[in-house]
A and B are shown apart, each in its own frame.
Chain A
């Protein structure tokens, strides 16, 4: 019940495409859903996050869609660029402050 399941494991898109990464959870106590971005050789960095009281959040080219009834959320990257090539992790947290991470998605954006 503490798991966050992420798919796909890897994704290749052309520049300008809209990659979509999906995550699902079971624990209804989760109340905070961030996405982290990781470049090779670096630690993950917070990209964007959402609380369950909203269904969508946009920051620049990155959008989180949240479906509370389905217990799913997804990351969309608009007008993707080669510089967006990275590993993306979804995560979830209840009020304990500990993040439970998904398995990660390696995104490659081809020029």
Chain B
């Protein structure tokens, strides 16, 4: 039972490059989230989705895009990478909101140079 799977685990990007962080779940949960984690800053919500075809912005959406064409997949797109996007990115899901607990993936460590 994989839960929430993120790929890649590590990536180095050059400024201005683009990439997609992949997130897939096998739990059939409706809610999915993308957070970034920076030292001393906690976890900041980038985007979230309450079901296939529905996405909404979180606290720090600038520079990112998402799509949710299926229940299983919730990719995060960086179009023009900037050094400020160097971070650890976590995808999470929940059955129906925070009350049911989030299941997090193991993260993607991204460095933009």
Contacts and interface: CB of A to CB of B under 8 A. Distances in A.
B102 A99 contact: yes
A43 B42 contact: no
Residue among B102, B105, B107 with most chain A CB within 10 A: B102
B74 interface: no
Interface in A55-111: 89, 91, 93, 95-104
B41 interface: yes
B101 A46 contact: yes
A43 B105 contact: yes
A32 B101 CA distance: 11
B99 interface: yes
Say which size band chain A's interface belongs to.
20 to 34
Interface in B70-113: 90, 92, 94, 96-99, 101-102, 104-107
B42 A89 contact: yes
Contact of A103 (B41, B45, B105): B41
Contacts, number: 65
A43 B107 contact: yes
A65 B92 CA distance: 26
A12 to B, nearest CB: 17
B61 interface: no
A99 B104 contact: no
Contact of A43 (B96, B99, B101, B106): B106
B15 interface: no
B66 interface: no
B60 interface: no
10 contacts: A36-B102, A42-B104, A42-B107, A43-B90, A43-B92, A49-B101, A97-B94, A97-B96, A97-B97, A99-B45
